[in-house]
Amino acid sequence: MIEVSIMTVGDEICIGQIVNTNASWIASHCTAIGAKIINHFAVPDERYAMINGLDMLIDNSDFVLITGGLGPTHDDITKPVLTEYFNDKLVLHELTYKRLEEMYNKRGTEFLERNKKLAYLPSKCKILINNSGSAPGMLFEQNGKYIISMPGVPSEMKDIMFNHVLPLIKSEIINNKSDVVLYKTLNTIGIPESHLADLLGNPDEFLNGGTLAFLPSYNGVKLRIGFSSENSKSAEEEINKIENYIRSRAGRFISGIGEEVITETVGKLLKEKRKTVSVAESCTGGLLGGAFTGIPGSSDYFSGGVIVYSNDAKINILGVPKDIINKFGAVSEETAIELAKNVREKFSTDYGISVTGIAGPGGGTKDKPVGTVWIGISDSKSTVAKKFVFADDRNINRELFVGRALGLLYMKLMDRL
């Protein structure tokens, strides 16, 4: 099996200034072609840390993929450290120099001396052309192992990965007839992790040597199926068997596959069915509408929404009868139903969704503790509301409320509600 380690270089990663999205992206794409990720390693912009990291990773990896530290400033030390590590020297790479010169001339930007230094590269490395930026990638081969350095800018890293690194890893898997490990993720909605586990039963009875991971989130539980085999075809066949079993037990809760989020799934269904939706939000304060509009093309099915945070807003803007709020409260089945029905009528949409709850930290009672939410959903045939009780944390609750509202709309669209 081809084993890959990822090293990210940069103080900004180590001190938590930015999130290491590069490592996540690299890992997912290497995994998709059957390689095994064995290390995620982040080091600061320090020579000693980089050398120690390389010593450790090269010993047990077929590929070490490095990102960061290839820019033109003093803190970009990856190239000099690698030059030292492989007992090499920097030489002018004419093709890279010409590309840089043309790039800067085209931009109408002065080609500074520090920019020209990007064209001086270790003599022992293979140059990997960077079509999205200035600093090229560098590939070193030592004792049958590959050490590849790429820029930290995500678009530039991805360009080199797609054009050079992933094809090389795939060819190594094929040429060496290496075992592969593949994964497939099923997205579920509307069922807690523990209930889902009980529904599927004893994993030993259906995994047949594969793996199954439960990955809970605010929007549902992901089921990641994994299988290691001598080739991709047999691994895919075994994964399909496991998936078929899972679908036979929990198919009604499966909303999609892969990295697709529930908002995307719901959006596709609304488009396919030529339906529209509007929202009435209280405690979520626009988060549900934001989830819809965060998807490109959502204007095809999302008409708009109203934030009715106060009781007066619920009464005056969306026409919830004052008597209902006085009798049942703002956080109630009756209020959620009125909000969902009235926002649907106000925006003339096929569906209306309402969210009214107690996010916390205050406002809870014995009968309606913090975390209580009523979510209403309305169409031309009926309007219903469902009650849920979640956590004590305000931010977590608001995310959970949005996730469950999207889940209910999904179930409604699939005629499962």
Domain ranges within the chain, ordered by starting residue: 3-175, 180-257, 262-413
H or E segment to which residue 250 belongs: helix 232-250
CATH (one of 3.30.70.2860, 3.30.450.40, 3.40.50.2020, 3.60.21.10) for 180-257:
3.30.70.2860
3-175: CATH class: alpha beta
Task: List, as one string, the DSSP characters of 397-416.
Answer: HHHHHHHHHHHHHHHHHTT-
Judge whether 221 and 196 are in contact, CB under 8 Å.
Answer: yes
- CA dist 146 → 63, 215, 347 (Å): 5, 32, 58
What lies within 8 Å, CB to CB, of 46 at 6+ separation is 77
- Cα–Cα dist 133/234, whole Å: 39
- Residue 177: its pLDDT value, please? 86
For the beta carbon of residue 3, count every other beta carbon within 10 angstroms: 16
- Residue 227: its pLDDT value, please? 96
Give the dihedral of Cα atoms 84, 88, 93, 97; nearest 10 deg.
20
Among 379, 386, 317, 328, residue whose Cα is nearest residue 355: 386
Half-sphere exposure in the Cβ direction for 254 (13 Å, CA): 18
Same fold for the domain at 3-175 and the one at 180-257?
no
Q: DSSP code of 162?
A: I
- Cα–Cα dist 301/348, whole Å: 12
Dihedral angle sign, alpha carbons of residues 22, 28, 33, 36: positive
- Residue 228: its pLDDT value, please? 94
- Cα–Cα dist 70/227, whole Å: 36
Name residue, tokens 């009125």.
338
- CA dist 340 → 141, 306, 378, 379 (Å): 62, 11, 6, 9
Diameter over CA atoms, the chain: 82
Judge whether 299 and 292 are in contact, CB under 8 Å.
Answer: no
- Residue 374: its pLDDT value, please? 98
> What angle, rounded to 10 degrees, do the helices at 262-273 and 394-413 form?
30
Name residue, tokens 């929202």.
279
Name residue, tokens 């998807």.
295
Peptide bond preceding 192 in cis form (omega within 30 of 0): no
- The residue type found at 374 is W
Among 194, 216, 265, residue whose Cα is nearest residue 411: 265
What pTM, to 2 d.p., does this model score? 0.78
- Cα–Cα dist 160/145, whole Å: 18
- Residue 107: its pLDDT value, please? 82
- Residue 345: its pLDDT value, please? 98
- Residue 234: its pLDDT value, please? 95
Fold of the CATH domain 262-413: Maf protein (3.90.950)
- CA dist 131 → 73, 96, 98, 163 (Å): 21, 11, 13, 9
Edge-to-edge strand list for the sheet holding 351-357: 302-307, 277-281, 351-357, 372-378, 383-389
- Residue 264: its pLDDT value, please? 95
- Cα–Cα dist 2/277, whole Å: 47
- Cα–Cα dist 413/266, whole Å: 8
What lies within 8 Å, CB to CB, of 177 at 6+ separation is 230, 231
- CA dist 220 → 33, 46, 260, 375 (Å): 26, 41, 12, 16
- The residue type found at 154 is P
Query: Which stretches of the chain drop beneath a pLDDT of 70?
Result: none
